[in-house]
């Protein structure tokens, strides 16, 4: 039997886990040492045994990811105000270090679309040298955060905040690509702020280039069509290649990498420290903190996505340390910010990667592309790269989750919209901080409401005589020793502060069971972050063929769970644990009887 209890009602959350084996004796879960927490996943994979078959598989997946990363890295660098080669330096150097030292088996590091907003604004304020200095400083902050084990606290960010700032970044990325998408010519520098940018673009709309718009439209259609009809094909690379070929053959009057930047170097630059002084470090400090905060959030979100797809678990603090060294390495070679990239990491998993070697080979393949095919990049039209980022922005907007949170509750909608609007019209860091503060206030308000409703309920359950309520339920020792059925009881407010911990525990303990029951009878409420964590548990259970039963959930709790995907056939709801266990045993007996009948027949 596993008892999972949450205490604290807003002041402190204490997680107590008891695991009872078949013999009925209690065993303690061994806590890893400090050194074990920072062993790279590469070492873990090699210890498990790594052969030529694994290397071949990782080479194929690494090549697949490199094909996707090639145009994306250049597009993100251009959108950030840099030359396209800076994005490739970040993907080659930073991506290699992330896989070499990281705490995730499948993480792919490189420049990410989420950084476009921050890097572009920092470039406008401090220039390229200032951004590179801020990138190296962010790397130091990430290493410190990992060694201080602060990675766990990143997971406390409420789900509406994550969805809000991600959607806000997507809107800003889309707006930043309108100029190249339509070939608009501005007589003055393009404004960085959202509304002034739209006003400037609208005023110069008469300068739009029909050829650039046509190239962008065809590129988007190719990417979308291949994603639906041939999802395993590299749609982005094919679209960019077709656009470059058409531009060359038809001599289209559009801006290309060659006409604007003069092409791409065929080699990595020599490493060098960025120019810095104490005054310059003070000036870029806010940007460095913002880079570190967003890098930590994005990389751990990407690692969680990989965990959900594979059933493995990452080490958050080890991942932060790797991200820190990756950003320092990227800055040494003149690259932009590096973080875990969700889309490329998911591509890596779907391509069959076995471990971090795939990510390291992806960087090697990118370097090879630079050495061999750099001259061909001069023909790539900027409208095609803008179309790539428009598709990226559309995919990262999390439209379904956004609409779901708007409908779920007034409080979650408030946090979501505040974060979303502040990210667009003010600042990303401000949006995250305000969203987190609103989430905390919302939790306090909900706890106050629960206290008012349950004013007569004691904080600590008093002792009572046996059978004092007239009911008697015999103890079933078989349930505690059953190797296939597991029962969890969650007590207390299930909110964003505990969602990550509880979700991880449920994920890890249920790996080898055939059915498990989660009892919500003592949960007065749960927020969207907790419900989203339960949705991931339910999805994993369905993939692994595990029966999941939710018992004792109040109508309010049940509604929130249903809204976030904890619904049939992923999960079944029952009134009590006894009823759920009876259904599990009944189904098992029916399956056994059917198997016996087939054997006899």
Q: What is the pLDDT of residues 345-375, one digit of tens each?
A: 988 988 889 999 999 999 999 999 988 888 8
Indicate whether 376 belongs to any domain. Answer: yes
Indicate whether 223 belongs to any domain. Answer: yes
Indicate whether 36 belongs to any domain. Answer: no
Residue 545 is predicted with a pLDDT of 79
Q: What is the DSSP letter of 376?
A: G
Same domain membership, residue 412 and residue 391: no
Q: Show which of 373, 405, 437 is a domain's final residue.
A: 405
Task: Give the full edge-to-edge strand order of the sheet including 2-7.
Answer: 2-7, 14-20, 26-27
Residue 187 is predicted with a pLDDT of 85
Indicate whether 268 belongs to any domain. Answer: no
List the single range of 2-6, 101-105, 299-303, 564-568 with lowest mean pLDDT. 2-6
Same domain membership, residue 519 and residue 417: no
pLDDT of residue 9 exceeding 70, the answer is no
Domain span including residue 222: 41-262+279-405
Indicate whether 474 belongs to any domain. Answer: no
First to last CA, the chain: 38
Structure confidence by residue, pLDDT tens digits, 35-63: 778 899 999 999 988 899 999 999 999 99
Same domain membership, residue 381 and residue 292: yes
Same domain membership, residue 142 and residue 126: yes
Q: pLDDT class for 590, splitting at 50, 70, 90?
A: low
Same domain membership, residue 394 and residue 412: no
Residue 18 is predicted with a pLDDT of 41
Same domain membership, residue 214 and residue 349: yes
Same domain membership, residue 539 and residue 400: no
pTM of the model: 0.73
Same domain membership, residue 396 and residue 417: no
Cβ atoms of 106 and 349 within 8 Å: the answer is yes
Same domain membership, residue 335 and residue 246: yes
pLDDT of residue 555 exceeding 60, the answer is yes
Same domain membership, residue 432 and residue 337: no
Burial class for 578, CB neighbours closer than 10 Å (0-12, 13-18, 19+): middle
List the single range of 426-430, 464-468, 524-528 with lowest mean pLDDT. 464-468
Count up the domains in the chain and report the number.
3
Q: pLDDT class for 173, splitting at 50, 70, 90?
A: confident
Same domain membership, residue 380 and residue 441: no
Cβ atoms of 561 and 531 within 8 Å: the answer is yes
Residue 212 is predicted with a pLDDT of 94
Residue 543 is predicted with a pLDDT of 78
Q: Show which of 370, 387, 405 is a domain's final residue.
A: 405
Q: Is the peptide bond before 569 cis (omega within 30 degrees of 0)?
A: yes
Most confident of 278-282, 396-400, 440-444, 457-461: 278-282
Q: pLDDT class for 133, splitting at 50, 70, 90?
A: very high
Indicate whether 309 belongs to any domain. Answer: yes
CATH number for 537:
3.30.750.24
Most confident of 34-38, 209-213, 257-261: 209-213
Indicate whether 273 belongs to any domain. Answer: no
Average pLDDT of the residues in 177-192: 88
Please state, in angstroms and rounded to a whole number, the distance separating the CA atoms of residues 532 and 496: 10
Partner residues linked to 573 by β-bridges: 550
Structure tokens at 101: 């030292």
Cβ atoms of 222 and 245 within 8 Å: the answer is no
Average pLDDT of the residues in 328-342: 93
Per DSSP, helices labelled H in 235-356 are: 235-250, 257-261, 278-310, 316-332, 342-350
Same domain membership, residue 401 and residue 423: no
Indicate whether 458 belongs to any domain. Answer: no
């Amino acid at each position: 039997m596993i008892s999972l209890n949450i205490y604290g009602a807003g002041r402190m959350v204490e997680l107590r886990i008891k695991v009872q084996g078949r013999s009925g004796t209690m065993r303690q879960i061994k806590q890893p040492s400090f050194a074990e927490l920072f062993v790279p996943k590469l070492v873990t994979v090699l210890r498990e045994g790594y052969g030529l078959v694994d290397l071949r598989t990782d080479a194929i997946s690494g090549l697949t990811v490199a094909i996707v990363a090639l145009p994306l890295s250049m597009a993100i660098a251009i959108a950030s105000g840099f030359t396209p080669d800076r994005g490739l330096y970040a993907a080659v150097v930073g991506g290699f270090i992330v896989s070499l030292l990281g705490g995730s088996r499948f993480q792919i590091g490189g420049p990410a679309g989420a950084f476009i907003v921050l890097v572009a604004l920092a470039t406008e304020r401090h220039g390229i040298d200032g951004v590179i200095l801020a990138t190296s400083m962010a790397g130091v902050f990430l290493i410190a955060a990992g060694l201080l084990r602060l990675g766990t606290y990143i997971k406390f960010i409420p789900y509406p905040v994550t969805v809000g700032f991600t959607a806000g970044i997507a809107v800003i990325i889309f707006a930043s690509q309108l100029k190249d998408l339509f070939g608009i010519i501005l007589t003055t520098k393009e404004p960085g702020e959202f509304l002034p940018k739209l006003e400037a673009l609208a005023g110069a709309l008469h300068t739009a280039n029909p050829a650039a718009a046509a190239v962008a439209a065809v590129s988007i259609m190719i990417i979308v069509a291949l994603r639906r009809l041939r999802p395993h094909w590299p749609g982005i690379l094919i679209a960019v290649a077709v656009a470059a070929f058409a531009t060359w053959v038809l001599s289209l009057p559009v801006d290309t990498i060659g006409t604007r930047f003069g092409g791409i170097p065929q080699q990595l630059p020599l490493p060098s420290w960025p120019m810095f002084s104490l005054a310059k470090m003070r000036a870029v400090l806010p940007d460095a903190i913002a880079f570190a905060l967003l890098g930590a959030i994005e990389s751990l979100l990407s690692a969680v996505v990989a965990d959900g797809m594979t059933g493995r678990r990452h080490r958050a603090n080890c991942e932060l340390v790797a991200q820190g060294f990756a950003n320092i390495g990227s800055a040494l070679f003149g690259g932009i910010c590096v973080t875990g990239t969700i889309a490329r990491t998911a591509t890596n998993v779907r391509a069959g990667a076995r471990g971090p070697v795939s990510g390291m080979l992806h960087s090697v393949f990118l370097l090879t592309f630079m050495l061999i095919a750099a001259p061909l990049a001069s023909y790539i039209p900027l409208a095609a790269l803008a179309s790539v980022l428009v598709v990226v922005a559309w995919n990262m907007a999390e439209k379904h989750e956004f609409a779901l949170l708007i409908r779920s509750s007034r409080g979650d909608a408030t946090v979501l919209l505040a974060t979303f609007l502040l990210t667009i019209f003010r600042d990303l860091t401000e949006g995250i901080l305000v969203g987190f503060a609103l989430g905390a206030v919302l939790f306090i308000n909900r706890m106050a409401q629960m206290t008012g409703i349950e004013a007569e309920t004691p904080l600590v359950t008093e002792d009572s005589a046996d059978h004092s309520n007239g009911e008697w339920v015999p103890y079933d020792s078989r349930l505690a020793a059953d190797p296939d059925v597991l029962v969890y009881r969650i007590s207390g407010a299930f909110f964003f502060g505990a969602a990550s911990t509880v979700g991880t525990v449920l994920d890890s303990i249920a790996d080898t069971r055939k059915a498990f029951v989660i009892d919500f009878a003592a949960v007065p409420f749960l927020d969207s972050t907790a419900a989203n964590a339960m949705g991931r548990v339910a999805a994993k259970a369905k993939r692994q063929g595990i029966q999941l039963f939710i018992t004792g959930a109040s109508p309010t709790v049940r509604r929130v769970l249903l809204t976030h995907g904890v619904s049939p056939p992923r999960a079944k709801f029952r009134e009590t644990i006894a009823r759920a266990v009876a259904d599990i045993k009944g189904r098992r007996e029916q399956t056994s009887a059917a198997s016996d009948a087939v054997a006899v027949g």
